[in-house]
């Protein structure tokens, strides 16, 4: 047993060591023959077996997720698994987004609308402050975990957010269309007076 413990005490993949006999339970069974002996922990063994399975499935044209024949030639996932993964991703994204909006107040700071479908998060400091960290689900995670300062964020409805961006100069109307846009903002009786 001492020789076996001495040999099995270090995983050849991650370097994890076994210092007692109980720690040996965390190691896969060593293959003892005259050609090879394995010295690998169960975690690394499972990871290696999973990678081998995925490579084998991919070479045979099988889906990496379910192992069935893929109907999408040259793609790692079948259409059923792609649809399932897309739904799960979309559900996770909307759940995080709604939780972050609720944590920031849950209503537009201008008009007070509370319909979560119409609300978005506005950066008060503008686009110059935005970094790659402030994009996607990582942005919502950072808000929820308290790792993102919330002083420069506010909840606005999409209409007020677009108006804010125009007022700050982040969005611009093409000069060719400015006359038409300002004309459409006039009251109807003023428009009739101008056209006559």
Q: How far apart are CA 192 and CA 55, in angstroms?
A: 71
DSSP string, 125-188: T-GGG--GGGSHHHHHHHHHHT-S--TTEEEEEHHHHHHHHHHHTSS---TTTHHHHHHHTS-H
Q: What is the pLDDT of residue 2?
A: 45
Q: What is the pLDDT of residue 99?
A: 93
Secondary structure (3-state) at 46 = helix
CB neighbour list of residue 38: distance below 8 Å, 6 or more residues apart: 12, 28, 29, 30, 31, 45
Q: What is the pTM of this model?
A: 0.60
Q: What is the pLDDT of residue 154?
A: 92
Q: How far apart are CA 156 and CA 192, in angstroms?
A: 35
> Predicted confidence band at 25 (pLDDT cuts at 50, 70, 90)?
low
> Predicted confidence band at 110 (pLDDT cuts at 50, 70, 90)?
very high
Considering only CA atoms, which of 34, 5, 47, 3 is closest in space to residue 22?
5
Q: Where are the domains of the chain?
A: 2-57, 81-182
Give 139 or 12, the one with higher predicted confidence: 139
The mean pLDDT value of the chain amounts to: 77
Rounded mean pLDDT of 5-11? 58
User: Per residue in 46-56, pLDDT tens?
Assistant: 888 888 877 88
Rounded mean pLDDT of 3-21? 66
Burial of 156 (0-12, 13-18, 19+ CB in 10 A): buried
Which helix (DSSP H) or strand (DSSP E) does residue 47 occupy?
Answer: helix 42-59
Q: What is the pLDDT of residue 34?
A: 43
User: Per residue in 68-88, pLDDT tens?
Assistant: 888 887 788 889 999 999 999
Q: What is the pLDDT of residue 131?
A: 57
120 forms beta bridges with 156
> Predicted confidence band at 136 (pLDDT cuts at 50, 70, 90)?
confident
């Amino acid at each position: 047993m001492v020789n076996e413990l001495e040999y099995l005490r270090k995983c050849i993949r991650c370097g994890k060591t076994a210092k007692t006999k109980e720690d040996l339970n965390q190691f896969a069974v060593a293959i003892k023959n005259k050609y090879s002996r394995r010295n690998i922990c169960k975690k690394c063994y499972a990871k290696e077996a999973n990678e081998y399975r995925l490579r084998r499935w991919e070479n045979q044209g099988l889906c990496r997720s379910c192992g069935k024949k893929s109907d999408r030639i040259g793609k790692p996932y079948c259409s059923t698994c792609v649809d399932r993964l897309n739904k799960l991703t979309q559900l996770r994204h909307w759940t995080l987004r709604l939780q972050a909006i609720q944590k920031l107040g849950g209503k537009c700071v201008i008009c007070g609308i509370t319909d979560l479908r119409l609300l978005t998060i506005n950066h008060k400091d503008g686009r110059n402050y935005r970094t790659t960290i402030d994009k996607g689900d990582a942005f919502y995670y950072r808000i929820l975990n308290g790792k993102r300062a919330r002083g420069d964020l506010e909840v606005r409805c999409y209409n007020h957010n677009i108006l804010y961006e125009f007022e700050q100069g982040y969005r611009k109307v093409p000069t060719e269309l400015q006359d038409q846009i300002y004309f459409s903002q006039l009251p109807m009786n003023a428009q009739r007076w101008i056209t006559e």
